[in-house]
Amino acid sequence: MNENIMKKTTKKRKAADELRQQYDLSSLKGGVRGKYFERYQAGTNLVLLSPDVARHFPNEQSVNSALRTLIRAGKRPLRRAR
């Protein structure tokens, strides 16, 4: 009986640091390594807004203000129609 029947064949892989051809590195300019590291360590929640939502908020303060308003509105008792 052949001992090699159940062994998987492996293909040689490229070095782990090589990027795929479809990645366009020119579109990645301007990134800053560790930009949010301190906030992450402090326990701050980072949330990525969808582009259509982000267009309505010029900065983080406006997002927080809108969310606080929504939270307060959700805590109020509902009025019944007469």
Does 37 map to a domain? no
Q: Residue 62: inside a domain, yes or no?
A: yes
Longest dimension (CA), the chain: 86
Q: Provide the residue range defining the domain that includes 70.
A: 47-77
* Total domains present in the chain: 1
In a domain, 70, yes or no: yes
Q: Over its length of 82 residues, how does the chain's per-residue pLDDT go in tens digits? A: 566 566 665 555 555 667 777 777 777 777 788 888 887 788 777 788 999 999 999 999 999 999 999 999 999 887 777 7
Opening angle at CA 56, ends 55 and 62, nearest 5:
120
pTM above 0.75, yes or no: no
Residue 6 in domain: no
CA dihedral 36, 39, 45, 48 (to 10 degrees): -20
